A and B are shown apart, each in its own frame.
Chain A
Amino acid sequence: MEEIDEEVLQLFIEESREHLNGIEDDLLAMEAMETLDAELVNRVFRALHTIKGGAGFFDFNKLRDLAHAMENVLDLIRNDELTVTSAIISSLFSGADTLAKMVDLPQTSEDRDIGDLLVTFNDIVSRVEQDEPDPDPTDASNPDLILDDAVDAAPDTQNRNSQSTLSPTSSGLAVQELELSADALKVDGAVSDKDGGPSCGGENAESEAKRTVVDQSIRVQLSLLDRLMALAGELVLTRNALLEGVGQGDVKALIPTSKKVDAITSHLQKAIMSTRMQTIDIVFNRFRRVVRDLSQQLGKKIRLEISGQDVELDKNIIEALGDPLTHLIRNAVDHGFETPSDRTLAGKPAEGVLSIAARHEAGQVVIEISDDGAGIDPNKIAEKAVDKGIYSAEEIGRMSEKDITRLIFDPGFSTASEVTDISGRGVGMDVVRQNLATVGGVADVESVKGAGTVVSIKLPLTLAIIPSVLVGISEETFAIPQVNVVEMVSVSPEEVQRRIQRVGNLTVLRLRGQLLPLIELIDHLKIQGKYSEPNTGQWREERRRLLYDRRCFAEEGDQEVFDPRSGQERREHPQSVINIVVVSTGSSKYGIRVDELHESAEIVVKPLGVHFKNSSEFAGATILGDGRVALILNAEGISGFIETTESDRAMLEGEQESETSHSIDTVKLLIIENAPTEIYAIPLNLVARIEKFHFKHLQVVGGGHAISYRGGILPLFSLEGTISSVKPQWLASECFYAIVFAVGDREVGLMVAGIRDVVDFGENIDHKTHRRKGVGGSLVLDHTIVELLDIYGVLEIHNPEFIRHLNGDFASDECLRILLVDDSPYYREQMAAELRSGGYDVVVAEDGLQALEVLNANKDICLVITDIEMPRMDGLEMVRRVRSDAAYTNLPIIAVTVLSAQEAEKRGYSAGVNDYQVKLDRQGLLAACRKWARPLPAEWNPPEITVHE
């Protein structure tokens, strides 16, 4: 072949690709058309004609021949000499596919074997030419017959013949293609498994080549280019002003100019980014074809519904989406949907609905692929997982159905060789997840057996700029993409021993009853004190001790946990806390220990070179404000550092359980100071606000202090004279703090000298030693004894009338019996006292099992108040047991927690809890009692609840 002008060739390739993309849609429309739409057929004809012309110009003979053969068929259709059948459309599709492949790699197109296709098309044409067009006018005019998609629907023998010869070829082709891409995905999965990281996309060499072709150019709206031009012009003007300003040395004059630069830069950035944005319909549209071909081949009836195709995403992401989405769609059609007869049996419409929807959600794009098929049977998944030895039956037993369904994303699971066994999804879900992860996407699945499956994918809008959290580890700065960051936790030195522990070979963080693996990147990324001295350019290598030793820090439990070698910042702050960033990848959640938490920032992603192609640890690099380079951590890749062995996992699970069953609720305490020697704690959840007032506004009203506040009067009381004899030492002579509590529908303020701290306290509160009216107990904090205030008690001492007034309507109630269940003696005593003061008769139990016994023994209990986290049997389980007995369905149950956690509430309500209250919120609790506690009917005689040990 003679030398071809590259540029012209490129133009030809791009133009042909566009035509071919259009052909696909038009062919689908042709299949659906009821009467001949000449314009539609003409469009396809013209497209093929153009390709033929171009191919002829470049001497791509086979390309030209194929386009010509297809053109002939279309010519017949256009002249109404040939009736469109599914079979013909299918062959045209495979012709168009082959054309597309040839166009992508025109240089090799001559080597491609297109003999079969040419024969197919020529057969169609010659048959029509020999036998003359179908003489039967009804056939051509009857839409039903034209629309036929079954082989025997056409009465015409010629047509039937042509179909029976064509169908095997075309469907054979489709099958081949399907297998090919499934293989490609599998191979890709294997490779990336080996490398321990996701690879860029699941396709064979051919489609990779296609991608490079696609990458060459992009269509941009002219108006957008105009806008870019305008911005560039503005930038030039501003630069001139800046240069002039710098020349004059007038800093003040520079300020507006620099602001302008700032504004133009961000406008430019936005405009340039938008040139990269493409609508997602580019990807979505090809699924019409996929669904059509596959459902026809499998004999299923599926309607495809697409919505949100206008959603825009970065070009890179759009391109990377094609393969995983195609896989999901194929999976849904192949395994998700039942056959029409099965559907009818199941009482569903024969036609299934597959919907693909894209939408914006909180700065991300969410794509949902949902079907109304058979759904995923968690039991089968569980069975499979146990069979494959991925999880033990015991571990599975502890998982929720949702988590079991999610196992299909598990690497070990989805490389299963049996594709279709599991109702629902088989091979390659792991690869789908990995492919999505390369573009920052996270996949999740939800399924209801018999009703359908929804796979949802969350994607960032763009890859070029990502919001991230910057952290410092040793001397390095790393960026963690915000999408992965769940929360940041700092563990104070005194908490290290309790919260960071070693389980087997893993270091774990205790976080609200969960154990999360902790990753020390210094160990894994070989972060060394290797740096070049700025002045001399000399290389220095600090010989630092590896951090493996630090893993014992939980045992040592002292400041030695901080690696002595890691430099100054630690030595400067020997008391420093351990900072942990908790990240989630969708499939796993873990903590990364960091030295410093810097700001969060929008970072510009720069690619890393060839040497990092196969490393999964980094997603790229970015340049910080000061010019230094920071690496972007790939949360998915980093999670590979967690090497859990079977025994570790078992231990982790075991620990997790023991943790939840023995956990003591932590409570946030506000530490206040009356005098330097007198420190008190107040449960923070009782505090409405903290205010600072000037003494000169203090007024004496009716023997007590008060202050006018928020348009009303805030009565004030102080600890002096109620529970303390020490005169408060006001820190600032003119000001005092008032801690505002809500009591009933009113507010009161406690005057305190100073606010010390807010702490999480999880240890036992001594409820005996210092207990007296106004003091609920005591605790030890930093070696100091701190008394825990019982605010209502203090108030009662201060002004008994006040409390009596609040509880007034109680006294008349008849004495109702309440069962109070809590494992913490402090809370139990405290709440029991509150309830008794509210006029109730209280019986107590320490855990769920005991509660059931007490409930059996006391038939007159009319309300249960229970803690959730308890040893032996927790509150939820207890509630379920009680509720499982029909006689107790109406027994009101109130759950109490230290803080209101919505998730916990949800679980509680589903277990059968009637109400949620915060512990120590006396008024709330009493109000709830008033609402729920009702005298039992006289004939009431509840049966025994069986207690299983």
Chain B
Amino acid sequence: MNDTRSSADFGDTEIIAFKVGDTVAGLAINQVREILKPPEITSVYSRYEYVVGVINLRGNIVTTIDLYKSLGIPGENCAGHIVLVEFQNEHLGLLVDKIEDSIAGQSENFLPVPDDVYGANGHFFNALYKRENDLISMLNLKAVLLGE
């Protein structure tokens, strides 16, 4: 699974959409392993500010990331759900406000990313997906998880 891709790389795929502040972010269904209610999060000191801590997911230690901080979105995370993704053979949790929807995405509706998406830097996203009334920002996991 490619972590960085352009809008043209997306075929027809189901999209999981979730709210992070005012932004509606999305991931292709095959990037999402699981969605869970946040268990107790053990905060861990890390040099990455957006790392909130670790959770115990059925006996595995999973690093959890605050998408607000990683995307640079002002405000407080409501921490409604954790979206579990797999990245470089590791499971990581993305802490989001809430899960919004699951959409059957059509390849022609993926658009290239502008420099700035609702105040967040464009490099955090691979593409935008055009919904009826709004846009879903498709996350670039590498940028979001490693801050690169």
Contact = CB atoms under 8 A, between A and B. Distances in A.
Nearest to B76: A539
B61 interface: yes
Contacts of B40: 531-532, 534, 627-628
A532 B79 contact: yes
Contacts of B79: 532, 537-539
B80 interface: yes
A623 B59 contact: yes
B55 to A, nearest CB: 7
Contact of A539 (B45, B60, B77): B77
B43 A609 contact: no
Contacts of B43: 476, 527-528, 530-531
B40 to A, nearest CB: 6
Interface residues of A, number: 31
A527 B45 contact: yes
Contacts of B54: 608-609, 621, 629, 631
Contacts of A534: 40
Contacts of B80: 537
Which of B54, B59, B60, B62 has the largest number of chain A CB atoms within 10 A? B54
A525 interface: yes
Nearest to B38: A537
Interface string B56-84: 10011111000000000000111110000
B90 interface: yes
A629 B63 contact: no
Interface in A260-314: none
A617 to B, nearest CB: 6
A746 interface: no
Which of B61, B62, B146 has the largest number of chain A CB atoms within 10 A? B61
B28 to A, nearest CB: 21
B61 A608 contact: yes
B42 interface: yes
Nearest to A534: B40
B92 interface: yes
Contact of B63 (A531, A610, A617): A610
Given A528-B43, A628-B56, A606 B38 contact: no
A611 B88 CA distance: 12
Contacts of A630: 42
Nearest to B82: A537
Nearest to A607: B61
B46 interface: yes
A629 B55 contact: yes
B44 interface: yes
B48 A621 contact: no
A645 B37 CA distance: 47
A861 to B, nearest CB: 62
Nearest to A539: B79
Contact of B56 (A528, A532, A627): A627
A695 interface: no
A615 B47 contact: yes
Contacts of B44: 608, 612, 618, 621, 631
Contacts of A612: 44, 46, 63
A94 to B, nearest CB: 36
A524 interface: yes
A783 interface: no
A538 B51 contact: no
Interface string A673-710: 00000000000000000000000000000000000000
A526 interface: yes
Closest 9 interchain pairs by CB? A609-B63, A525-B45, A629-B42, A606-B61, A621-B61, A629-B56, A611-B51, A530-B43, A623-B56
Interface of B: 37-38, 40-48, 51-52, 54-56, 59-63, 76-80, 87-88, 90, 92, 145-146
Given A530-B52, A614-B47, A615-B46, 6 more contacts: A524-B45, A525-B45, A534-B40, A612-B44, A631-B44, A631-B54
17 contacts: A524-B45, A525-B45, A528-B43, A530-B52, A532-B38, A537-B78, A539-B76, A607-B61, A609-B63, A610-B88, A610-B90, A612-B63, A614-B47, A629-B42, A629-B54, A629-B61, A631-B44
